[in-house]
């Protein structure tokens, strides 16, 4: 009898993709301006460091929050002892207010309907446990965040069926793509329990249109399934069109006290908008009280510390700070994204037009040696090992078209981004020259071969005997 479980000994985890392998290579040889200037620059990490100074400034002005004080008195003992894992009421109230503010206060959230989790990873997995059994399936539009292969599947046993989207319409979801994915799941005897989308999209950096959101609600109503909208990048929308939450569309349709109202769920986190992934603050929001109750029970396996909740409740309750932070963060993201796009253009590389997120969906199809995913991996390896940039290949995001890459821009200084673009430009120039030289050589050989054949033909004609 084996001593270990099948889960402990299984080889699949979802972290064996090129997305995570690129991280491993970066960690072996990380770029440092002084200590390792020829190292690998991390452009595969969707982390927001552009507004960290605003957080540090608030902390300096509010030492009592970080020192766990209330009215000048220490509450360390109170926070250090056991707290109900439902969460601190003050924090839940401040958090739902912040979520509403990000959405332009077009929707409000009931603090009694949120569940705190240790990050969005935990929130998404918890919803899988609440909504599906092992062997059931969720439909996800491609390209999608590579970590979902780990977060949604590994412990739950839930399957992912792709909704194939293409560049022909900027990777937007269509009714036909939804239906094809649903039918494909049924063909392999998978019971579809729902659709999961990221809005704004990771890795596209685009917001979903209201038409797409309406389409999704109509689809889940027709199929009698669930919809999860992962909105962890909702506060990173820096240009038009504005972000539209699934809850805003749901409210406008006024389906309260209907099954659809209870089958739409939102995931949120402070990892991207506030740039606090290390704090591990995630949220599940659902109108279904049964889901809220079940998820709350499960959240005991991944709590948010009372100290974290206390500090952030003070920060998010400061309305002057949150308003200033949201405004400045948007401006900084837009400026930095523009610098990446400009740098890419100078390297003769284009990207999908985006208005959100911490990354761009970059088109390098013209640099492939062939229109294959094998060629994409060859290009990716050259960029990681030779150019020393860690970017994420589209195949790791299950993109159906080879040659697309996710490139992050908010986890580094402006000087580091400039260096990264210089490296990429030099690489593209040398690749273009090499390709041109190779093509010139082929053309030269073709010309010589043509001249040689013509010469033989001419000699053959002259050697013929007269009629």
The answer on pLDDT for 186 being more than 60 is yes
Q: Are residues 317 and 408 in the same domain?
A: no
The answer on pLDDT for 307 being more than 80 is yes
Average pLDDT of the residues in 65-76: 84
How far is it, in rounded angstroms, from Cα 234 to Cα 198?
Answer: 10
Give CA angle at 268 (339, 140), nearest 5°. Answer: 80
How far is it, in rounded angstroms, from Cα 25 to Cα 16?
Answer: 13
User: Residue 394 — pLDDT band, cuts 50, 70, 90?
Assistant: very high
Least confidently predicted of 62-76, 137-151, 330-344: 62-76
- Write down which residue in 297, 321, 345 finishes a domain: 321
- Write down which residue in 321, 356, 375 finishes a domain: 321
Least confidently predicted of 16-30, 148-162, 284-298: 16-30
Q: Which of 40, 114, 232, 284 is catalytic?
A: 232
Q: Are residues 122 and 223 in the same domain?
A: yes
Q: What is the pLDDT of residue 35?
A: 96
- 223 catalytic per annotation: no
Within a domain: 1: no
The answer on pLDDT for 69 being more than 60 is yes
Average pLDDT of the residues in 78-105: 89
Q: Are residues 240 and 336 in the same domain?
A: no
Q: Are 422 and 414 in contact (CB under 8 A)?
A: no
pLDDT digits (tens, 9 = 90+) for 196-231: 999 999 999 999 999 999 999 999 999 999 999 999
99-113 CB burial, b ≥16 within 10 A, e <16: bbebbeeebebebeb
pLDDT digits (tens, 9 = 90+) for 5-31: 777 777 666 666 788 888 899 999 999
pLDDT digits (tens, 9 = 90+) for 92-103: 999 999 999 999
- 145 catalytic per annotation: yes
Q: Are residues 110 and 197 in the same domain?
A: yes
- Write down which residue in 263, 292, 321 finishes a domain: 321
How far is it, in rounded angstroms, from Cα 286 to Cα 304?
Answer: 19
Q: The domain that contains 368 carries what CATH number?
A: 3.90.1150.10
pLDDT digits (tens, 9 = 90+) for 98-134: 999 999 999 999 999 999 999 999 999 999 999 999 9
- SS3 assignment, position 107: coil
Q: Are residues 164 and 81 in the same domain?
A: yes
- 272 catalytic per annotation: yes
How far is it, in rounded angstroms, from Cα 331 to Cα 328?
Answer: 5
Q: What is the pLDDT of residue 71?
A: 82
Least confidently predicted of 170-184, 402-416, 429-443, 451-465: 451-465
Q: What's the mean pLDDT when you consider all of the chain?
A: 90
Q: Which of 92, 193, 272, 388 is catalytic?
A: 272
User: Residue 257 — pLDDT band, cuts 50, 70, 90?
Assistant: low
Residue with tokens 């402990």: 8
Q: Are residues 122 and 39 in the same domain?
A: no
Q: What is the pLDDT of residue 421?
A: 98
Q: Are residues 178 and 254 in the same domain?
A: yes
Tokens in use for 239?
A: 């240009």
How far is it, in rounded angstroms, from Cα 103 to Cα 96?
Answer: 11
Average pLDDT of the residues in 183-203: 97
Measured N-to-C along each axis, helices 319-346 and 414-462 cross at an angle, to the nearest 10 degrees, of 20
Q: What DSSP character marks residue 383?
A: I
Looking at the DSSP bridge assignments, the partners of residue 285 are 114, 266
Q: Which of 26, 145, 268, 310 is catalytic?
A: 145
Q: Are residues 137 and 263 in the same domain?
A: yes
Q: Are residues 234 and 199 in the same domain?
A: yes
Q: What DSSP character marks residue 439?
A: H
What is 229-275 written as a DSSP string?
Answer: EE-TTGGG--SSSPP--HHHHHHHH--TTSHHHHTEEEEEESTTTS-
The answer on pLDDT for 459 being more than 60 is no
For 377, residues 6+ apart whose C-beta sits below 8 A from its C-beta are 18, 393, 395
Tokens in use for 327?
A: 């405004």
What is 152-185 written as a DSSP string?
Answer: TTTTT--EEEEE---GGGTT---HHHHHHHHHHH
Q: Are residues 285 and 377 in the same domain?
A: no
User: Residue 461 — pLDDT band, cuts 50, 70, 90?
Assistant: very low
Q: Which domain holds residue 197?
A: 53-321
Q: What is the pLDDT of residue 12?
A: 67
How far is it, in rounded angstroms, from Cα 370 to Cα 95?
Answer: 49
Q: What is the pLDDT of residue 123?
A: 96
Within a domain: 31: yes
The answer on pLDDT for 285 being more than 80 is yes
How far is it, in rounded angstroms, from Cα 242 to Cα 235?
Answer: 11
Least confidently predicted of 247-251, 350-354, 454-458: 454-458
Q: Are residues 190 and 71 in the same domain?
A: yes
pLDDT digits (tens, 9 = 90+) for 356-390: 999 999 999 999 999 999 999 999 999 999 999 99
User: Residue 1 — pLDDT band, cuts 50, 70, 90?
Assistant: low
Measured N-to-C along each axis, helices 18-28 and 373-382 cross at an angle, to the nearest 10 degrees, of 10
Within a domain: 165: yes
- The CA-based diameter of the chain, rounded to the nearest angstrom, is 119
User: Residue 441 — pLDDT band, cuts 50, 70, 90?
Assistant: very low
Q: What is the pLDDT of residue 463?
A: 41
User: Residue 448 — pLDDT band, cuts 50, 70, 90?
Assistant: very low
Residue 392's alpha-carbon distances to 53, 67, 339, in angstroms, are: 28, 40, 19
Q: What is the pLDDT of residue 159?
A: 97
Q: Are residues 280 and 349 in the same domain?
A: no
Q: Which of 149, 151, 230, 363 is catalytic?
A: 230
The answer on pLDDT for 330 being more than 50 is yes
How far is it, in rounded angstroms, from Cα 210 to Cα 158?
Answer: 28
Question: Percentage of the chain surpassing pLDDT 90?
Answer: 77
């Amino acid at each position: 009898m084996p001593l270990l479980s099948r889960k402990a000994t299984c080889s699949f985890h979802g972290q064996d993709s090129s997305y995570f392998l690129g991280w491993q290579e970066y960690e072996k040889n990380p770029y440092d301006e002084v200590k390792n200037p020829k190292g690998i620059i991390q452009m595969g990490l969707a982390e927001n460091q552009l507004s960290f100074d605003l957080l540090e400034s608030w902390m300096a002005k509010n030492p009592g929050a970080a020192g766990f004080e209330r009215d000048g008195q220490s509450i360390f003992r109170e926070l250090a002892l056991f707290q109900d894992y439902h969460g601190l009421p003050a924090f839940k109230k401040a958090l739902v207010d912040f979520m509403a503010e990000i959405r332009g206060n077009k929707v409000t959230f009931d603090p009694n309907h949120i569940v705190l989790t240790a990050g969005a990873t935990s929130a998404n997995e918890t919803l899988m446990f609440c909504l599906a059994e092992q062997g059931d399936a969720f439909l996800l539009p491609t390209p999608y965040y590579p970590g979902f292969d780990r977060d949604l599947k590994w412990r739950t046993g839930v399957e992912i069926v792709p909704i194939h989207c293409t560049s022909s319409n900027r990777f937007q979801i269509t009714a036909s793509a939804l239906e094809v994915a649903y039918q494909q799941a049924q063909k392999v005897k998978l019971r579809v329990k729902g659709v999961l989308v990221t809005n704004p999209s990771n890795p596209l950096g685009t917001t979903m249109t209201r038409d797409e959101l309406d389409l999704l609600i109509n689809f889940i109503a027709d199929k009698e399934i669930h919809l999860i909208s992962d909105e962890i990048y909702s506060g990173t929308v820096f240009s038009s069109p504005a972000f539209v939450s699934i809850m805003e569309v749901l409210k406008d349709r006024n389906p309260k006290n209907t099954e659809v109202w209870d089958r739409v769920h939102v995931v949120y986190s402070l990892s991207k908008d506030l740039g606090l992934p290390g704090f591990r603050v995630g949220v599940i929001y659902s109108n279904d009280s049964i889901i809220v109750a079940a998820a709350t029970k499960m959240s005991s396996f991944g709590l948010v510390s009372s100290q974290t909740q206390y500090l952030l409740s003070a920060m998010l309750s400061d309305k002057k700070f949150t308003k200033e932070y949201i405004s400045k963060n948007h401006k900084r993201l837009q400026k930095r994204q523009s610098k990446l796009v400009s740098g890419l253009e100078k390297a003769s590389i284009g990207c999908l037009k985006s208005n959100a997120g911490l990354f761009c969906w970059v088109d390098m199809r013209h640099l492939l040696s062939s229109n294959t995913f094998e060629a994409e991996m060859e290009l990716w390896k050259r960029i990681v090992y030779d150019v020393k940039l860690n970017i994420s290949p589209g195949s790791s995001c299950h993109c159906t078209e080879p040659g697309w890459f996710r490139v992050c821009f908010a986890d580094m200084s402006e000087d580091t981004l400039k260096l990264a673009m210089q490296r990429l430009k030099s690489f593209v120039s040398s690749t273009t020259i090499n390709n041109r030289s190779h093509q010139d050589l082929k053309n030269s050989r073709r010309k010589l071969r043509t001249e040689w054949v013509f010469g033989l033909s001419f000699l053959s004609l002259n050697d013929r005997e007269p009629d």
